[in-house]
Chains A and B, each alone.
Chain A
Amino acid sequence: MATPQRKVPTTSPYARPLYKWLDRLAPIGLALFMLTVFVDYSWWMVQSPARMMSWRGLIFFAIWIPTTLFYVIMAVKDIVQNWNSRWEFAGPKKRNPLADTIGVQKADSQREFFRSVTGKRYDLTQRPFFRWLFHRRWYQFAAQLPNVIIFNIVIIAGLIGVVNPNRNFATVITWYVWFGVLFVLMIGVGRAWCLICPFSAQAEWVQRLGLFGKGKKLLTLGLKWPQKYSTLLISVFFFLGLTWAEEFYNIAGPGKPAFTSMLVAGIIIWDLFYALTFERRSFCHYGCPLNGVIGVVSAVAPFEGFRAKDRSLCKTCTTKECMKGSERSYGCGWYEYPGSMSSNFYCGLTGECFKGCPYENIGLAVHAPLKEAYQPRKKRFDVAIAVTLMMGALFFEVINATPQYAAFDTWLSQTTRWDVVAKLLDGQVSAYPNPLDYMGIILLWPLFGWGVARLGSLLSRGHIAARELLTRYAYGWIPLFGLGILARQLPKVLTNGPTIAQVISDPFGFGWNMLGTAHLHLYARNFAPGWILYVQLGLVVVGGAASMFVTQKITQLDFHGRPGARAINWLMQGVIVLQMGLLLALYFYIALVDPGHPLSPPF
């Protein structure tokens, strides 16, 4: 939808010397912060000679020194290279006159695909501060660096720290804090985690041979990802595999923190392999286990991602700096084109398109939540299957807390001799979870979705294909899945999260007191009030109501006036209510029969 071009000021709102020195000092400040953390940790390590002289000290310095050296050398290189460069934007290029004729005509011809944007929306880039910030090359680096440091400490803590997961930084920060914050970020902002992700950050720095500067050479083979494997389902299968491994080895606690460490290091190495082999951020599309979850749940968020403000201008742009890159920016790593974006699914918020667009035609708007779930005309079948699979995984994660499931799983493991294999694999004593019932329960949901879609197709007397119904209505499941999985994480985060205050001062459990909070006795469940269950149930109800709203909108936008649309709408609403009711009953039942379970609040 073509929108009128807003007048953009050509001069900077800030004084030029201030600009220049901020660009110089901000990266230096970040590099110094990195060095300070390094020195602080090394100091505490050296202060404990018993640890220093053991294998723990060797591992600590073997990881800590090379990584810090790498970052500092790269930072110095970028700072020196860009010391006198002008990163500020010179002002937008003159608008192509063809945009008002051919451009408008072309954009209008796709009016149905882009659908007019209704309701209020506020473009953040109208504010000079955000425009200034998104033009900085170090914008993403500043967001990534703290996370990179935290997850490098996670690797070290898991390997050399104490085995007690509640005293080890690796388990506490990853599973009690990060896994809760992750879902809040997804629901609140969208792919905010991808912006600050430490795994792809490090791989991308190696690929680009720099931390934040714009280099000319890339360290990668730059292979193209094979077409036949271009699907979201790869990422979802990695997610399901990881979820199974997490349950099998109890990585998220009370298992050994070393498993968390190996998991994080494994993802970084896996990401590095992708970055050195394939072009751009292929890992984020086809390798990251969280890509599917984050992309799908982002549809709930009120942020629409970096997107063209005026599509008619993009229709006449022949240079496409947003995709190809320019002197001051890389092309979009996420394979997104702001000129035709209709959802925030793949916007990693890196801001490269914003820096690259010579017309200053990129905006970052905030609008009502849930719009990204129902508004896109282009809904994908692989995303729909992914949503049903992930819904299956969510229900498995809740069902597995019931005593009936535990009895069934034990029986199945003994019958199929899986318990013998589990012992060899060093998994849980009960051999939980048996891969057969794990996959069986998860696959029930795509089958259920397909069955409902077939029924819907019958209601339309065959006028609407089941595939189309499944593809479009599966997007209606997204809010229930997003808030349902947040509800699932809530008791664990709220009851165990406070231990972070203690662990942050003593990350390895060696008896350090770096920030003076090591003796704050905030043990697990101290902060767990009885109302967590009601917050859980409330989240599921809100998720269900949001899903019903999205389903209603999908009927209005995609199936209005088509045969059987009203009956299909009732059917799909019923499916949402059924799933919501089942989820509510399960959370309530778990809290009733097993108050000590990590999923249920303590009474």
Chain B
Amino acid sequence: MGTIAVVNHERCVGCELCTRACGVTHAIALNLERNWVEVSEELCWACGACERMCPFSAIMLPPWALPNKALRDAIYAQTRRPKKHGVAAMQDLEDEDEELAGSRLH
């Protein structure tokens, strides 16, 4: 078992509170067909925000999991929005948004 959040499929109701809580790396997404959330192994840095947010304890981290800050920083460095001005900056932001959406899907 990896050190990422584990979803209890019997308990998960697809409310997406954890998806909202996972705001830094966007590692959690709702499976539309099954109505439960799934955690991306590449993006989860085991911060525990989802576990604290879930009212039904449907998503939990293994007891030995520690936050992987290096992974968080690496993902953040790739996806953060640079401080630019003008039309070029807007174009960059749109490109980044597309990349981010793609990374969530795969």
Which residue of chain B has the shortest Cβ distance to A325 in the bound complex?
B55
A40 at the interface (CB under 8 A from B): no
In contact, B55 and A110 (Cβ under 8 angstroms):
no
Are A337 and B13 in contact, with the CB atoms below 8 A? yes
Cβ contact within 8 Å between A109 and B32? yes
Q: Does A318 contact B (CB under 8 A)?
A: yes
Bound-state CA distance A318–B55 (Å) is: 12
List of B residues within 8 angstroms of A109 by Cβ: 32
Question: A113 touching B15 by the CB < 8 A rule?
Answer: no
Q: How far is the CB of B73 from chain A (nearest CB, A)?
A: 28
How would residues 1 to 43 of chain B score, 1 for a CB under 8 Å from any chain A CB and 0 otherwise?
0000010101101111100100000000000111100000000
Instruction: Indicate if the CB atoms of A224 and B57 lie closer than 8 Å.
Output: yes
A109-B32, A110-B32, A224-B57 in contact; A231/B13 too (CB < 8 A)?
Answer: no
* Chain B residues whose C-beta falls within 8 Å of the C-beta of A232 in the assembled complex: 10
Say if the beta carbon of B93 comes within 8 Å of chain A: no
Whether A113 contacts B33 by the Cβ 8 Å rule is: yes
> Are the C-beta atoms of A331 and B55 separated by less than 8 Å?
yes
Q: Cβ of A339 < 8 Å from any Cβ of B?
A: yes
Count of chain A residues near B, Cβ 8 A: 28
Q: Which residues from chain A contact B10 at a C-beta distance below 8 Å?
A: 230-232, 380, 382
Query: Does A320 lie at the interface of the complex (its beta carbon under 8 Å from any beta carbon of B)?
Result: yes
* Interface pair B33/A112, CB less than 8 Å apart: yes
A506 interface contact, C-beta 8 A:
no
Mask, A198-240, CB within 8 Å of B = 1, is 0000000000000000000000000011010011100000000
Closest beta carbon of chain A to B56's beta carbon, Å: 5
Residues of B within 8 A of A380 (CB): 10
Query: Which residue on A lies nearest to B31, using beta carbons?
Result: A113
B-contacting residues, A330-367, CB 8 Å: 331, 335-337, 339-342
Check: B100 CB closer than 8 A to any chain A CB.
no
Residues of chain B lying within 8 A (CB to CB) of residue A51: none
Smallest CB–CB gap between A225 and chain B, Å? Answer: 7
Chain A residues with Cβ under 8 A from B75's Cβ? none
A244 vs B16: C-alpha distance when bound (angstroms): 42
CB distance from A222 to the nearest CB of B (A): 10
Residues of A close to B49: CB separation below 8 A: none
Chain A residue nearest to B60 (CB atoms) is A227
A324 at the A/B interface (Cβ < 8 Å)? yes
Residue from the set B14, B33, B56 with the largest chain A CB neighbour count within 10 Å: B56
Partner of B60, one of A113, A224, A377: A224
A378 CB-CB contact with B under 8 Å: yes
Q: Which residues of B contact A323 (CB under 8 A)?
A: 13, 15, 17, 55-56
Other than the known A109-B32, A380-B10, what 20 A-B pairs have Cβ atoms closer than 8 Å? A113-B34, A224-B57, A224-B60, A227-B6, A227-B60, A315-B16, A318-B20, A320-B15, A323-B13, A323-B17, A323-B55, A335-B58, A337-B13, A337-B14, A337-B15, A340-B14, A340-B15, A340-B35, A341-B13, A382-B10
List B residues at the A interface (Cβ < 8 Å). Answer: 6, 8, 10-11, 13-17, 20, 32-35, 55-58, 60
Could you show 30 A-B contacts with beta carbons less than 8 Å apart?
A: A109-B32, A110-B32, A112-B33, A113-B33, A224-B57, A227-B8, A227-B60, A230-B11, A232-B10, A279-B57, A318-B17, A320-B15, A320-B17, A323-B13, A323-B55, A323-B56, A335-B13, A336-B13, A337-B13, A337-B56, A339-B13, A340-B13, A340-B14, A340-B35, A341-B13, A342-B35, A377-B33, A378-B34, A378-B35, A380-B10
Interface residues of A (CB under 8 A from B): 109-110, 112-113, 224-225, 227, 230-232, 279, 315, 318, 320, 323-324, 331, 335-337, 339-342, 377-378, 380, 382
